Amino acid sequence: MPRTPVLWRGSLFPLAAPALALFSWLWVNSQLATEDRYWAAGSATATSAAFLLGPLTAALAAREVGRVRDASAVFGRPVRTPARVVVDAVAPATAAGLVGVLAAYLTASWHLLGVPGGPDGRFVLLAVLVVVAHTAVGAAFGWWSRPLIAIPSCFILLYCWMALPIGVEPMWLRHLTGFTDWGLAVYLEVDPAGVWAPILVNGGVLVAFALALACSAPDRSPRSTATGAVLCAAVLVPALAGGISTARHLGPDPVVLRAAPDECFDGPVTLCVYPEDLDRVEEIRAGVDLAVAELTSRGFPAPTRAIHGVGADDEETWTFTMNAFSSPESLASSIVAAQVPSMPEGCGGMGTYLTYYLALDWLTTAEDEFDDPELNEHWAALHRLPEEDQLAWFHGARDAVAACGSHLDALGPEVS
Amino acid sequence: MDNLWEIQGKAYSAMLTAHGITFSYDGRKSTLTDVSIHVRSGRTIVLGPNGAGKTTLLNVLAGNVSARAGSVALSVGDGVPPVQPRDRARYARAVGWLPQRATPVRGLRVREQVAYSGWLKGMSRTTAWEAALPALDQVGMAAHAQDRANRLSGGQLRRVTLAQCLVHGSRVLLLDEPTAGLDPRERDRFAEILLGLPAEVAVVVSTHDVVDLVEVVGQVVVLNGGRVVFTGTPAEFLDHGDPSLPASRQAASAYSALVEERTHA
């Protein structure tokens, strides 16, 4: 007696499972090489492998169902329900897809060995749902059309569904698919809507398929086909509407700022970092100390706290961001540069741009000559001021940039 | 397992009755018109020219399609209520179907193919696997159990398909042109296999092949234009032939006479 159901014999599982696992390993390795060592990023990256695992699993499912479909005339009227027959037929394809998901998460786990936390259950659920929902769609293709048509067409269509929305409008479309390649930094976390929207859509597809199978008659009578179609629509339409309504407000990446870290270390400057960076505290402190030295030499007061994350800095508290590759020097540079706030979205005035670049350049002493002659004149005017006036101009410029304004007038009418 | 078919070990006779069957594929032109036949245990041959409705009749009897009018019922013994095609599980389990074209599941070996068929008909995987070998033995294919099903010859594949009908203990076998395209040796072998089937199994064979099979059956049904034009024993069938012809050509002559009578009528 074979240990597996007979349809596993002659299925593509033995070839497909290692191939999908290899793809997952390559994908997650390449993506996580540049990501923060952070489980939210690891989970999103592992789940993002579904952009290819899904369509490949669908093509496999179409092929496996096609085997039974081609031979179905020989078996006459089965006692098993169509649902049971199809589920049995697609089991090898589904298993191959899930091996791919498992490989993606094992690769992520290997990358994140020692990092506090573990895989995010929502992402695991999403990955499984995407793969199984794709299996369902592939099975439907395989059941209703010949393998020669079903296999390539379901792969191409589903690959387009997964890969194309990222480059098209409306923005929410990309958040329905389950392609979660978001690059989550440690100070960010996923907006739950970004995960629940594709869970709703993929779950809807799966439930619709299950209902269609449950009410399909072996003779594919028009009545059972119509009932199945109505039930499918009754599930798919609300699932899709729910997904769209959940995803409508999301930006390109569905991320939100993570709560400020509460692991703080005393010192001349109290340093607060996320649990993922506890093994880099000394390195981070070295970077903060370099920044403090740099900024105090320019007349800035030393802060009392430095916090990993994004927030409004004041004299008491600095915030900083970094990534897995930040050195103390690069961290110090970014802390220094962060004293000039980014221009708010929609600032279009030339005065704001010039104020911003001039303030940034003054702070980081990056250049003393620009291609823009107007900027050169401003630069020269700024550096002619006494040091305390330069610092006062900088603070004024910082406030002006934050308000989308210009602070060039303060350098004198002859250059403004 | 269904109670009705758990009495497989006990010999009993199956009777398949179709009454007043009318069937149309397009809702307008009837492929079968008011067809009534009674198939008892033993072998029944359904003869008829192309387009006479033989395959459609077998499809209706198998429950693969539903008739527009009329009824089909399978009786299996005293005190057991007849089973109708709408009782899908019990009916499908009792009926074995051999279509004209046999396509195996890609990648399966012969025993796996037969075991899968048994599983589709409601047997557990273990029972189907164990029953596959005796079923293959019944059709003389046990030696090929480990061969790839898609590498078999047409005749061998036909026999494997017959084993698929037998593996789940069918009480009625519906064989649609089982000898079409086979060489004479395979046709003889197939006829031998039919003769070797248990007496309590009802076998319905549709064919053009009048000569080969008419000698091994108990009942002959002739269809023409979607209607039954003859039902009777082989002897009664042969009575319609030209007595002056040699015995080997009498069946063909009887068949021609019945079909032409109907056409002229």
A131 and A55, same structural domain?
A: yes
B92:A77 CB<8 A: yes
- Bigger pLDDT: A93 or B263? A93
- Collect all residues of chain A within an 8 Å Cβ-Cβ radius of residue B119: 5-6, 80
B88:A6 CB<8 A: no
Q: Is residue B206 part of a domain?
A: yes
Provide the CA A367 distance to its chain's centre, in angstroms.
36
Q: Is residue A173 part of a domain?
A: yes
Q: Please give the residue of chain A at the shortest CA–CA distance from B115.
A: A6
Q: Which of A156-170, A218-232, A273-287, B93-107 has the lowest mean pLDDT?
A: A218-232
For the ranges A50-59, B53-62, B237-246, the maximum mean pLDDT occurs at A50-59
Q: What is the pLDDT of residue A312?
A: 67
Q: Is the dihedral of CA A166, A170, A176, A182 positive or negative?
A: positive
A297 and A356, same structural domain?
A: no
Is A9 within 8 Å of chain B by CB?
yes
A196 and A300, same structural domain?
A: no
Residue with structure tokens 């299925």? Answer: A11
Beta bridge partners of B21: B35
- Give the residue numbers spanning the domain of B62: 12-102+170-264
Provide the CA B169 distance to its chain's centre, in angstroms.
14
Residue with structure tokens 């009749």? Answer: B57
Q: How far apart are CA B162 and CA B154, in angstroms?
A: 12
| Residue A167: pLDDT band with limits 50, 70, 90 | confident
A10 and A86, same structural domain?
A: yes
Q: Is residue B129 part of a domain?
A: no
Is A74 within 8 Å of chain B by CB?
yes
A165 and A147, same structural domain?
A: yes
A40 and A101, same structural domain?
A: yes
Average pLDDT over residues A249-270: 88
B101:A6 CB<8 A: no
| Residue B188: pLDDT band with limits 50, 70, 90 | confident
Average pLDDT over residues A248-267: 88
- Bigger pLDDT: B108 or A302? B108
Q: Is residue B93 part of a domain?
A: yes
Separation in Å, CA of B193 to nearest CA in chain A: 19
Separation in Å, CA of B240 to nearest CA in chain A: 35
A270 and A251, same structural domain?
A: no
* Last residue in a domain, options A236, A257, A278: A257
B102:A9 CB<8 A: no
- Give the residue numbers spanning the domain of A126: 6-257
Q: How far apart are CA A179 and CA A167, in angstroms?
A: 12
Q: How far apart are CA B57 and CA B21, in angstroms?
A: 8
Token reading at A178: 């389950």
Q: What is the pLDDT of residues A264-293, one digit of tens each?
A: 988 888 899 999 888 888 889 999 888 888
**Residue A223: exposed, middle, or buried by beta-carbon count in 10 A (0-12, 13-18, 19+)?**
exposed
A74:B103 CB<8 A: yes
Name the average pLDDT for chain A: 87
- Interface probe with B: pick from A1, A4, A6, A12, most Cβ of B within 10 Å: A6
Query: What percentage of residues in chain A have a pLDDT greater than 90?
Result: 41
* Last residue in a domain, options A242, A257, A272: A257
Q: Is residue B116 part of a domain?
A: no
Q: What is the pLDDT of residues A196-243, one digit of tens each?
A: 999 999 999 999 998 888 877 655 566 777 887 888 899 999 999 999
- With vertex at residue A246, the alpha carbon angle to CA A244 and CA A249, rounded to the nearest 5 degrees, is 90
- Bigger pLDDT: A16 or A339? A16
Q: Is residue B82 part of a domain?
A: yes
A129 and A22, same structural domain?
A: yes
Residues in CB range of A413: below 8 A, 6 or more apart:
none
DSSP string, A141-201: HHHHS-HHHHHHHHHHHHHHHHHSGGGSSSGGGGGTT--------TTEEE-HHHHHHHHHH
Q: How many domains does chain A have?
A: 3
A268 and A162, same structural domain?
A: no
CATH code: domain of residue B215: 3.40.50.300
A359 and A219, same structural domain?
A: no
Token reading at A150: 């079903």
Q: Is residue A343 part of a domain?
A: no
Q: Is residue A345 part of a domain?
A: no
* Last residue in a domain, options A225, A257, A289: A257
Residues in CB range of B4: below 8 A, 6 or more apart:
B76, B80, B83, B90, B94
Please say if the pLDDT value at position B12 is more than 60: no
The Cα-based distances of A217 to A100, A140, A257 in angstroms read 33, 15, 51
A232 and A128, same structural domain?
A: yes
